[in-house]
Amino acid sequence: MEDQHNEFSRRSALRGAAAAAVLAGTAVALPGVKVPSAQAVPRPPSSRGRQVAVFGGGMAGLAAAHELIERGFRVTVYEPDYLGGKARSLGVPGTAAGGRLPLPGEHGFRFFPGCYQHVPETMARIPLRSGGNVKDRHLINVETAAIAFDQRGYAPVTAPASALGMITHAGDIATLDNIRNALTTGLKFVVDVPPAELAYFVTRELIIATSSPERRIGQWENQSWMQFVKAKGKSAAYQRYLVGALTRALVAAKSHTASARTIGQIGLALATSATGLLGQYDASLITGGVDRILNAPTNHAWIDPWVAYLRGRGVQFAKGDGVADFALSGGRISGARMVSGTTVTADWYVSAIPLDRLKPLLTPALLTADPSLRGLRRLQDDWMVGIQYFLSRRSELPPGHIAALGTPWALTGLFQARPWGVDFARTYGDGRVKDCLSIDVSDWDTPGILYGKTAKQCTKQEIVREVWAQMSRAMNSGGRRLLRQEDIVTWSLDPGVTWSPRIANATPLMVNTAGSYKNRPTADTAIPNFFIGGDHVRSNIDLATMEGANESGRRVTNAIIAAADSPAKPAVLYPLAELPLFDPFKEEDRRRYRAGLPHILDV
């Protein structure tokens, strides 16, 4: 904790309202940091330079550009490939015919849980030419979920995501088949996971809820989730489903490596948002919003209107060129050399590029200027890539996500025709496709069921067949053929995965690991005019997500406001809200932790 306090002490340039915003936003993520009053230091009458160069046009870069341009800064975004980053959607080449749009491909389907706050707030500030805004017109509640277990004796179950979902889709949920499957799966689960183990798992989450911030960062941060829930010695089903599959499905993290603090806090946030007891979260189990998606391809619904809005406000976009090196002079960034050989100069420089592309730019000069950036090299990334199957038959399931728990490659999916409210045959492709099953592959290092190989060892065709086989085995185990091989018209694997000749992935994702928080940078650095955005930056959400990237863009903005002595109002930062009923228990645990005592429930 002392190290974290000292790290913030060196940032003496942060003053006034911007300082308060920067620190207030990290009050949950960095417990013990005292937040200064917004009126502690009066604003000077003048401001410094206002030209900002943002390198990277993904979620973090666009969020920073949005907040900065609305506060009077001049912003240029440099992006070598595609605006929107991993969140973008793309037309599948060569699939359009008869005046239709190309089939909609994507890196992976979008998922906006109820605890997301920054992204929906940004969406609400993106106007649409047809009226309204992105959030109100395109962010919709998912009212059901399909849960499948990849093990003999279980059957897939369609469950409501809210009371409203139960009413709206009662015809799909209250069928004889679904009721039978629910009873079969429920009884099997009770047999496989002893009630004592289920209660123990709930108790472990309760420990997180009642732990002080000091214990979370000082103890639970340094344990993996699997260690924290003490999976060793428990039943196979406890390890496979409660610990492993649930973690993968909800937060796309590995239970044996991810920090217990992070997984526990996100699980708590998801549960808290579902209660509907806190107005900070726009969700509840009554009205919905616990699970949300877009009602159209991401670019159509969100990215394109966002870019159009930013252009209209004055943001310049320079595409087709990326940063190759940052030059230092007098302890400041003096310019950015681009891949093309040109040099970009600005008052403020923002690295909003992915972790794997930032690491090679950490030259000895940069690391000497800010030694804390060395931690970036110790952060890890992993693969989470999507594949779309375009089908000749519309899904029979009500709109909702599919969690194929226990599948070797940790599959989750979404049928898109019904929630999008679109006639696929009239809108996309050549008229043969009536639905799209978009599947995220979260585990690329576990052997599959067809070839006994990991995804990273497979050819493209083998991945296509393996993913379908795993999802089909889980979804068809209830007696109904929900997935049929003969329905596949074509498919699209994320083009970021290539074979030349060995497999490679151009879009890896930073993964949370136990003890990694200390290695993650803050948005501001010891280099006065250099800032970092991205889902690898410290944030309240604390996971590599669109929400974390958006939050980092706001943190960059507030740091620049402070460094530039700007009178602009800081960007809003949202902590993960928790129920106040736990506050007395947290205070007691703070005393116990400081006294060197374990959590009272940690037995």
DSSP assignment of 467-511: HHHHHHHHHTTTSS-SS-GGGEEEEEE-TTEEESSSEEES--EEE
Distance CA 1, CA 213 (A): 10
Q: Which uninterrupted H or E stretch holds 545?
A: none
Distance CA 440, CA 387 (A): 7
Q: What is the pLDDT of residues 27-84, one digit of tens each?
A: 444 443 333 322 323 333 344 689 999 999 999 999 999 999 999 999 999 999 999 9
Which DSSP category does 296 fall into? S
Q: What is the pLDDT of residues 253-301, one digit of tens each?
A: 888 999 999 999 999 999 999 999 999 999 999 999 999 999 999 999 9
Given a cut of 70, is residue 477 above it in pLDDT?
Answer: yes
Given a cut of 80, is residue 15 above it in pLDDT?
Answer: no
Q: What is the pLDDT of residues 143-167, one digit of tens each?
A: 999 999 999 999 999 999 999 999 9
Distance CA 602, CA 192 (A): 25
What's the confidence (pLDDT) of residue 603?
A: 81
According to CATH, the topology of domain 2-81+320-379+520-572 is FAD/NAD(P)-binding domain (3.50.50)
Q: Measuring CA to CA, which residue among 86, 30, 1 is closest to residue 555?
A: 30
Tell me the pLDDT band of 209, cut-offs 50, 70 and 90.
very high
Distance CA 222, CA 529 (A): 32
| Integer CA distances (angstroms), 490 to 90, 374, 388, 392, 440, in order | 15, 45, 9, 9, 17
Tell me the pLDDT band of 454, cut-offs 50, 70 and 90.
very high
Cβ proximity of 536 and 544 under 8 Å: yes
Phi-psi label, residue 34: left if phi above 0, alpha if psi -120 to 50, beta otherwise: beta
Locus of tokens 């280099």: 527
Helix (H, G, I), strand (E, B) or coil at 173: helix
What's the confidence (pLDDT) of residue 247?
A: 84
| Identity of the residue numbered 586 | K
| Identity of the residue numbered 172 | D
What's the confidence (pLDDT) of residue 254?
A: 85
Q: What is the pLDDT of residues 484-516, one digit of tens each?
A: 999 999 999 999 999 999 999 999 999 999 999
| Token pair in block for residue 428 | 């996309």
Average pLDDT over residues 566-592: 97
What's the confidence (pLDDT) of residue 202?
A: 95
516 Cβ contact list (under 8 Å, min separation 6): 259, 378, 379, 380
| Integer CA distances (angstroms), 283 to 47, 137, 147, 251, in order | 41, 17, 21, 18
Query: Which residues share a beta bridge with 570?
Result: none
What's the confidence (pLDDT) of residue 4?
A: 38
What's the confidence (pLDDT) of residue 122?
A: 98
Cis, bond preceding 501 (omega within 30 deg of 0): yes
Which DSSP category does 534 fall into? S
What's the confidence (pLDDT) of residue 346?
A: 98
327 Cβ contact list (under 8 Å, min separation 6): 333, 334, 335, 336, 337, 343
Tell me the pLDDT band of 249, cut-offs 50, 70 and 90.
confident
What's the confidence (pLDDT) of residue 41?
A: 30
Cβ proximity of 164 and 286 under 8 Å: yes
| Token pair in block for residue 489 | 């018209």
Q: Which residues of 442-457 are buried (b: 16+ CB within 10 A; e: fewer)?
A: bbbeeebeeeeebbee
Average pLDDT, the chain: 91
452 Cβ contact list (under 8 Å, min separation 6): none
The CATH 3.50.50.60 domain(s) of the chain lie at: 2-81+320-379+520-572
What's the confidence (pLDDT) of residue 35?
A: 31
Percent of the chain scored above 90 by pLDDT?
87
Average pLDDT over residues 379-403: 95
Q: What is the pLDDT of residues 188-200, one digit of tens each?
A: 999 999 999 999 9
Q: Which uninterrupted H or E stretch holds 441?
A: strand 435-441
Given a cut of 50, is residue 13 above it in pLDDT?
Answer: no
